[in-house]
Amino acid sequence: SSHFGRKSTSRQLFLQLPRGAMSSHSTDGQKPSVNERTGKDTLAIPAAKVSKPRIDCIDGCRAALVLPIVIGHFIKFGTNNVLLLKLLTQENVLVGGFFIISGYVSGYTSTLIGERRADEKKLAQPELFFWQRVMGYYPLHVLVSTCFSPMFIMIDRWVKNPWSTTRLHAFLNYTLLQAWFPSEAEMWNPPTWFLSALTFANGLMPTIVLPRVASLSKAGLGKLLTALTAISLLQKLSYSQAWQFYCRGGFVTKPTSPLLWNVTRFHPFGALVEITMGVAAVRDVMLDDAEEKKKPVTNPLWLFLASYASLALRITKFNLNDAMIRSTLFVPLYIRFLRAMHRDCLTEKPSLITRFFGSGPLVRLGSLAFPIFVIHGPLGQLFYKKQVATRLWGRVMPKPFFPIYLMLVVLAGYLLDKGFLKNKAVQRLSAHLAQFLATRTEGMLQDERAVGVSKENTKKAAPVAGGA
A 10 A CB-CB count for 320 gives 22
Collect the ranges in the chain with pLDDT lower than 70.
1-51, 243-257, 448-468
Q: Work out the percent of the chain whose per-residue pLDDT is above 90.
A: 51
What per-residue confidence (pLDDT) applies to 171?
Answer: 94
CA distances from 230 to 102, 219, 279, 328 (A): 20, 17, 17, 9
What per-residue confidence (pLDDT) applies to 90?
Answer: 87
Pairwise CA distance, residues 289 & 348, whole Å: 17
Among residues 191, 182, 128, the alpha carbon closest in space to that of 413 is found at 191
Find the Cα–Cα–Cα–Cα dihedral 358, 363, 365, 368, rounded to 10°.
140
Tens digit of pLDDT for each residue in 66-115?
Answer: 999 999 889 999 998 888 888 888 888 999 999 999 999 999 999 999 89
- Amino acid (one-letter) located at 233: L
Tens digit of pLDDT for each residue in 344-390?
Answer: 988 888 999 999 999 989 999 988 999 999 999 999 999 999 989 99
Pairwise CA distance, residues 446 & 155, whole Å: 42
DSSP characters for 37-53? TT--EEEEPPPP-PPPP
A 10 A CB-CB count for 132 gives 25
